[in-house]
Structure 1
Amino acid sequence: MLRRFFVMAAAVVAASSLLAAPADASPRHGEYLALGDSVAFGYRPNAGAAYLNAANFSGYAEKYASLRGLRLANASCPGETTGSMLNVAAPSNGCENGYRLAYPLHVAYPGAQIDYAVQYLRNHRDTRLVTLTIGANDMFRCQNTTPDHCTGPDFQAALSQASRNLAAILAAVRAHYRGDLVLVSYYSLDYRDATQVAQVKAIDAALTQVTRRYHGKIADGFTAFRLASLRTGGDPCAAGLLVKLPTGGCDVHPSAAGHRALTAALVFAR
């Protein structure tokens, strides 16, 4: 286990160095479809007029596409839940009932994100990669709408529902695509907080189990952030991995450095 830890640490450092190099200007070969929520979108809070142009936001998907020379279609939506990804009438955490009404996405489409994904895969037979980050907004909604703030049985109920929805999402993808499918897993906001770490690990474990059933790989965002925050004692905010807030502290979304860590995890997905 200790040897694997140091191998992963060396891999993250090596990938981060590679990502710091100039972007590849060679012709693009193959398609890459990115799906999911605000993490996949590259969302930043308090961005003002920047929201009017989706090109102002980039994250791990854009970095990986540049690194590998892939043509990217990023269909993610800030606030997307596993339910709203399947059906726009299902509750989201600010996608269908918020962000999409006011601001453009990276790609424009009517209806549910999964419907766009299916149509995209039908029309782009040279797709090399599909990535997905989804599920956190399900748990945020659970925190905001349940009496126990998603700390007891409601947590398990929400996680079970998210797992069922993810299975439906991946089944729809696999009906039209047999290539590399990667779940980019979530990170902890504070590795010193045992309760939060346990919750994030439970979410990642449940989503990983579903992804494996559909022959998907895992980009271990949890470990990538943990390794990158070792120098600050397990504090991703102090390590610069999260977006800094003008009032102090950090938002939940990755900074540019955080997205580099997630891209490194994607490079070594397995």
Structure 2
Amino acid sequence: MRRQLTLVVVVAAAAATVALPAESANAMPVESATAAPIGPAHGNAPAPKWYLALGDSLAAGYQPGTGDDKTGGYVGGALAMLKQQNKSVKLTNLACSGETTTTFTTGTRCPAERSQQDQALHFLKGHRNQAGVITIDLGSNDIDTCVKGGAIDQTCIAGGLQSVSANLPPILQKLHAAAPNARIVVLNYYNPFLAAYLLGPAGQTVAQQSAFLATIFNGEISQAAATINAPIADVAAAFESDDWAPVSTPSFGVLPTNVARICEWTWMCTKQNIHANDAGYAVMASALAPYLTS
């Protein structure tokens, strides 16, 4: 897997030896995600001339079997909204699959002459006097190596959280300083390991634990965004991550709503891959909509 999502990876090890049921990619019906109505530029801000997308594999539009799609995914949906305000708005997507809050600044993950941060700051220097939008999702890969051979490395987990807490605020602050008039929107994460619920009683415990841990991790992201007064595009809420009410599904029977959403909107229940599918990326774009439209 190119990327693990949020702190919930630490409890995923409990289900690591049991495969999720493999269903066809179209096993569950997909609800269409409807973005907020398109309107003029956000508030009284001028229409954006550029859109800078930053982050990890979700910002890169990754899907299993096809790889990155930097004009697709949720970024493509966001760009479509912005084009309603300015048809000539230009997208620059610097996202790097597997990026951490450390490699974002060091440039040691994706092959490039400069880090994603340096590339972003260079871009912003050249566009400082133009209206623009920045979206970023970052932090989940900081804990990617904390489960090894089915064992949970608690020291690694603590270090990963510390990395996000220490690294994400200054990353956002540098972006804001480089483009003080830009709209910066920070995305939080859905929880793909709710799919462990399908594994029976032990997996259901893992799913419940993962929900708690995902809330902690998304809280770290919110605290970082607050340092520059940036809004959070609440992907977790859009995926109904805290809704345990039962709902009937055609392929898996009765499931909690949050588990059903993961099965519908990611590849977790069909390919055991944490990335969003087309419908999931549309839902992520809808979480951005209130901050990209009036």
Counterpart in the other structure of 1:137? 141
SS class of match (1:170)? helix
Alignment map for 1:97-108 (pairs within 5 Å) = 100=111
Q: What are the ranges of 5 or more consecutive residues in structure 1 without an aligned counterpart?
A: 1-14, 22-27, 90-94, 101-108
Give distance in 2, aligned partners of 1:17 and 1:228: 20
Task: Give 1:75's aligned amino acid.
Answer: L
Cα shift at 1:60: 0.7
Question: Is this contact kept in 1: 2:60–2:69, CA < 8 A?
Answer: no
Question: Is this contact kept in 2: 1:130–1:182, CA < 8 A?
Answer: yes
Matched, 1:235 2:259: yes
Matched, 1:223 2:237: yes
Give distance in 1, aligned partners of 2:211 and 2:262: 17
Range that drifts further, 230-239 or 180-189 = 230-239
Cα shift at 1:19: 8.0
- C-alpha RMSD of the superposition: 3.1
Question: Is this contact kept in 2: 1:30–1:127, CA < 8 A?
Answer: yes
Give distance in 1, aligned partners of 2:124 and 2:262: 40
- In the superposition, relative to structure 1, how do residues 269 and 141 fare at CA in structure 2: closer, same or farther (>3 Å)? farther
- In the superposition, relative to structure 1, how do residues 212 and 58 fare at CA in structure 2: closer, same or farther (>3 Å)? same
Counterpart in the other structure of 2:102? 83
Give distance in 2, aligned partners of 1:204 and 1:238: 17
Question: Is this contact kept in 1: 2:211–2:242, CA < 8 A?
Answer: no
Question: Is this contact kept in 1: 2:53–2:91, CA < 8 A?
Answer: yes
Matched, 1:197 2:211: yes
Greater relative contact order: 1 or 2 (C-alpha under 8 angstroms, separation 6 or more)? 2
Higher helix share: 1
Range that drifts further, 166-175 or 257-266 = 166-175
Task: Give 1:216's aligned amino acid.
Answer: A
- In the superposition, relative to structure 1, how do residues 262 and 228 fare at CA in structure 2: closer, same or farther (>3 Å)? farther
Cα shift at 1:228: 11
Give distance in 1, aligned partners of 2:234 and 2:133: 16
Cα shift at 1:235: 1.8
Matched, 1:188 2:191: yes
Counterpart in the other structure of 1:7? none
2:282 to 250, 256, 260: 260
Matched, 1:118 2:118: no
Task: Give 1:226's aligned amino acid.
Answer: E
Give distance in 1, aligned partners of 2:287 and 2:137: 13
1:64 to 78, 87, 97: 78
Task: Give 1:17's aligned amino acid.
Answer: T
Give distance in 1, aligned partners of 2:37 and 2:148: 38
Matched, 1:16 2:33: yes
- In the superposition, relative to structure 1, how do residues 46 and 205 fare at CA in structure 2: closer, same or farther (>3 Å)? same
Give distance in 1, aligned partners of 2:93 and 2:54: 6
Identical aligned residues as a percent: 24
- In the superposition, relative to structure 1, how do residues 181 and 46 fare at CA in structure 2: closer, same or farther (>3 Å)? same
Give distance in 1, aligned partners of 2:267 and 2:172: 30
> Rg larger in 1 or in 2?
2
- In the superposition, relative to structure 1, how do residues 171 and 242 fare at CA in structure 2: closer, same or farther (>3 Å)? same
Matched length = 225
SS class of match (2:96)? coil
Question: Is this contact kept in 1: 2:36–2:290, CA < 8 A?
Answer: no
Task: Give 2:266's aligned amino acid.
Answer: L
